[in-house]
Each structure stands twice: as structure tokens, then as C-alpha cells.
Structure 1
Amino acid sequence: MRRRHFGRAVAGSACLLLSGALWAGSVEVSPVIASLSANHAIEAFTVRNEGQLPVTVQVSLMKWDQVQGKDVLTPTEELLSTPPLFSVAPGQSQILRVGAMHVTPRDGEIAYRMFLTEVPPPPQPGFRGLSVTLRLSIPIFIEPAKTRSPQLAWRVMPRADGGALVDVANSGTIHAKILAFSLRDKESKGVVRQDTSQYVLANNHSQWSFASFQAVRPGDHVALDAMTDTGEVTADLVVQPQ
């Protein structure tokens, strides 16, 4: 079972207090992704406090869309969390249930994000530091009624300054997650690599820009190697005009 830690998810983002102390989250959450359906309308998450002090966690739920490859989050009442605010004692766990109010199968997957925000305790008398709350985001999907697969189409286009744009469009009924990809010209002289954890929702696209890739022109051939959450992709692409 995969788990996610507040501290690990924000490595390097623990708050540095002006007093010189270092504070990091100690909350473990599993699972780290959920899929809901008519037969599985509620998901149970385990939130565990591995620290030495009580932790308070606030839950917020957002509808997740993408516009021009950018994430758009809006508050939603289509999902419900129980409890929405809770405290966990050291070494203890809390079961958090999240369910869909109405599961109506659609042709495409519906996407949401659940945010778990660690609420800092009241400052001690005389405290003059700076604290930063830690926030964890977990994707939640409602499965489509029909075919459940992403359909990815990759394109490479020249930039006006000589670099390259890499675009991936998902015409499938569910999301895809791009983990990494590399791009090289036919002589393997120009190579770019991108490590990412970018989701491409159904009927959406994502794009990356590379100034360092050697100049490409429409009609040139480039080789693509990509890793996604459904497997590896290898393709010979023809550079297209924008």
C-alpha cells in the first residue's frame, strides 16, 4: 500500500523558525489516490500521526479541471468528507471517509483534489517565530461509464527562438500521469530530459517548453521516450508547425 507523508511531500519546505528551531510534519496518509464508482462510492483513508505531539488536520475538497494545460480548482459539494476536521494523538490513526454525493456515470472521468492541511497549534507564550502549515494533495476520480483508458498523442513544435515545445493531448476517457520523458534528434546530438509528475486529465493536454533543445524545423524527425503510469512510450515524431 502506498503512503504519503507531509514531511516527505514537502521536502525542504518545513518551516524554519526565527528562533532557529526546525519543524516538519509527521502525518502519514494512505492511500495516495482514489477511484470512486457506483459500486465503490466511498473511500476510506488512514491518517496516522507518527510524531510526538497531537496534530489537527483540516480537509477541503475541490473540483479539478484543466484549461490550456493549467490546473483549475474550485470548491465542490459533489464530494463529502467525514470528519472534515479532526485531531490525531501521537501514535494514533484516524479513518477519513470521502464519498460522492451522487455517482452518475459519464462518458469521461471526473476529477477532484482532496487537500489535507495541518493546522498549527496555538503559539506558546513568548513565541516570536514563523510557522508554515503543510498541505497534502490527493487526487480522487469518479470512473467513467465506458472505456477506461487514456489516449495520448505527442507533438513537437519549434519555438520562435530556436527551442522546442512538447505537447501531449489526452483524448481518452481517463487521466494519464506523465512521469518522465526524453527527446532527441535523429543523430542523438540534441537531447532533453524532463522528470515530472504531471497529470493530463481526460480531454485535456499539457505542454513543456525547452530553450536548450537545438533548433528544430517542421518536417524534422525526433525520437521520444516517455514513462507514464500505464507504461513506456517510444515514438518517432515529425516536428509540426505551431
Structure 2
Amino acid sequence: MTGAGRTRALRRLGLWLAVASLQVGGAARAGNAVLIWPVDPVITAAQKASELWVENRGTSTTLIQVRVFGWQQRNGTDGYQNQQRVIASPPMLRLEPGQKQVVRLLKQPPPAAGEELAYRILLDEIPTPHLDSQDKTHSVNFQMRYSLPLFVYGERAAPDAGEPLLSWRVVEEGGGVFLEFSNHGSVHARLIQAQFDHHRLSEGLLGYVLPHASYRWPLEGTLARGQQLEFRLDNRDRLWRSGAQQAQ
């Protein structure tokens, strides 16, 4: 499948959220089911906004809060900050069974020319008490959260422009062993199906490395010298291989 074909296929996929329930006083409610799409929204330089759809496939009313946070990677970990450059409208949804609603992700102001900015969209179900018609007791739903990546582009930047420029090393620190990727390119890298020789690290998504940043994943066991790292760079539909680096 080409990169464009893969992107179209991903955008056709929704994401199911199974919302568990907590029994209180012997009463329990069936979990809700929320469908969210697309799972990889972007806002291009030519767009002022993007759309995110949320649908309630469950049997009871659900309340969902939508927030957008700035996303950076520092010291090998993810960090999130409050921001006002991308706004979710509306920020709160009340969905009856079978109802769907669009959330507009509004860009204000745009990134600088040639720049890709990363955000995380957090969708939180707001727990609500319900009166059980038979036992006359209350049940309270667990809160369910899902996090979606959002990438926003300035002029002369686009999801299919530029290249991630990756390097990696194995780091031993604080009694742990980590696989650290650094991305010296201008666009993010989305890594899937990673393995050392025949030792699989991830069947699907391993994770993201943002532009001009690094990220670490913990490793289990020991890594023999000379092992080869292999993964797919999913947002470029490319297989990537490299011999092992020296542990540091």
C-alpha cells in the first residue's frame, strides 16, 4: 500500500472506546461505546480548521470533554502544556444514544512557514450518576480517556513534505535500559512493527518521535552487540534498518 493509500485507510477507521462501569450499592450499568474519527487529524496550511467526529453507539447519554494540549518531547519523554493556538469547538459534548456530533479544531494563529507543530487531543468521558429503575440505587461510570495526535502545518510544510532524520542508541541509565531515538528532521516519525533481529518490540504502533526531539522506550533483557534494529516508518511507508549502536 502506498503512503497516500495508507493515510486514506487510516482516516476511514474509527476508534471504539469501551466505557467500563463501576458497581455501587449492587447496581451496574452497561458500558457505553463511543466512536471517534479520524484517528489521525491534521490541519494543513490551507485549512483554518479540521473536523473530529464523535458518535455515541451506546444505550445511554454520555458527556465528553474535549481539550487540546501542546505536545513536546524533552529528555526522552512526552510533555503537555496548556495552549490557545488550537481550540476545540465545542469543548463539551452531550450525546444521546445514536447521536453524533462534529468537533471543529480551530487554528489560531498558524505555525511559522515550514513548521510542523504537534498537539494532543484529549477526550474525557465525564462520569455521571444514574438512577437504577429496579434497585433504586445509584451507579457511577468509570471515566474513559482517549488521546489523539494532531499535527498542524505552516506554509511550505505538509504531512507528506520533508523527512524524519532518525538516529538511535541504547542507553543504560538509573538501572534501566532504553532504546532512544532522535529525530533531526522537520517532520515527525511514526514507528510501527519494531524488532531487534527476531525479537519483536511492537506488533503495531511503537510510538512517535517529534521533529528536533528524542524519545525513549524501555528495553527488557540484554541487547547483544551486532543485533539489527528494524521497523517501519509508517508515515512514509518505508522499512528502516540499522546495525546496533554502542550502549551509553
TM-score category of the 2 structures, normalised to the smaller one: 0.7 to 0.9
Q: Give the drift of 1:22.
A: 6.0
Aligned partner letter, 1:14: A
Quickly say closer, same or farther: Cα 1:48–1:213, change in 2 above 3 A: same
Q: Distance in 2 between matches of 1:79 and 1:165?
A: 33
Q: Check the 8 A contact 1:169/1:204 in 2, yes or no.
A: yes
Corresponding residue number in structure 2 for 1:80: 87
2:20 aligned to 14, 20, 42, which one? 14
Q: Distance in 1 between matches of 2:143 and 2:176?
A: 39
Map 1:146-157; keep pairs closer than 5 Å. Answer: 146=156, 148-157=161-170
Instruction: Give the stretch that moved more between structures: 191-200 or 34-43.
Output: 191-200
Corresponding residue number in structure 1 for 2:106: 99
Q: Distance in 1 between matches of 2:92 and 2:173?
A: 50
TM-score, with structure 2 as normaliser? 0.79
Q: Give the drift of 1:161.
A: 11
Are 2:233 and 1:228 aligned? yes
Task: Report how many aligned residue pairs link the two structures.
Answer: 227
Corresponding residue number in structure 1 for 2:118: 111
Q: Distance in 1 between matches of 2:120 and 2:66?
A: 11
Corresponding residue number in structure 1 for 2:243: 237
Aligned partner letter, 1:94: Q
Corresponding residue number in structure 1 for 2:188: 175
Query: Which runs of structure 1 show a deviation greater than 6 angstroms over 4 or more consecutive aligned residues?
Result: 160-163
Q: Give the drift of 1:159.
A: 4.0
Aligned partner letter, 2:20: A
TM-score, with structure 1 as normaliser? 0.81
Are 2:148 and 1:138 aligned? yes
Corresponding residue number in structure 1 for 2:209: 200
Aligned-residue Cα RMSD (Å) equals 2.7
Q: Distance in 1 between matches of 2:240 and 2:51?
A: 37
Unaligned runs of 5+ in 2: 1-11
Q: Distance in 2 between matches of 1:163 and 1:80?
A: 39
* Identical columns (%): 23
Corresponding residue number in structure 2 for 1:2: 13
Q: Check the 8 A contact 2:184/2:213 in 1, yes or no.
A: yes
Q: Distance in 1 between matches of 2:245 and 2:17?
A: 41
Quickly say closer, same or farther: Cα 1:31–1:238, change in 2 above 3 A: closer
Aligned partner letter, 2:23: L
Q: Check the 8 A contact 1:181/1:224 in 2, yes or no.
A: yes
Deviation digits for residues 153-194 of structure 1 (CA, Å, limit 9, x no counterpart)? 23343748999642221111111111221113xxxxxx5321
Map 1:11-90; keep pairs closer than 5 Å. Answer: 14-18=20-24, 19=26, 21=28, 23-90=30-97
Q: Check the 8 A contact 1:56/1:87 in 2, yes or no.
A: yes
Q: Distance in 1 between matches of 2:90 and 2:78?
A: 26
Quickly say closer, same or farther: Cα 1:17–1:82, change in 2 above 3 A: same
Corresponding residue number in structure 1 for 2:4: none
Unaligned runs of 5+ in 1: 8-12, 185-190
SS at match of 1:6: strand
Q: Give the drift of 1:80.
A: 1.6
Quickly say closer, same or farther: Cα 1:120–1:225, change in 2 above 3 A: same
Q: Distance in 2 between matches of 1:112 and 1:161?
A: 30
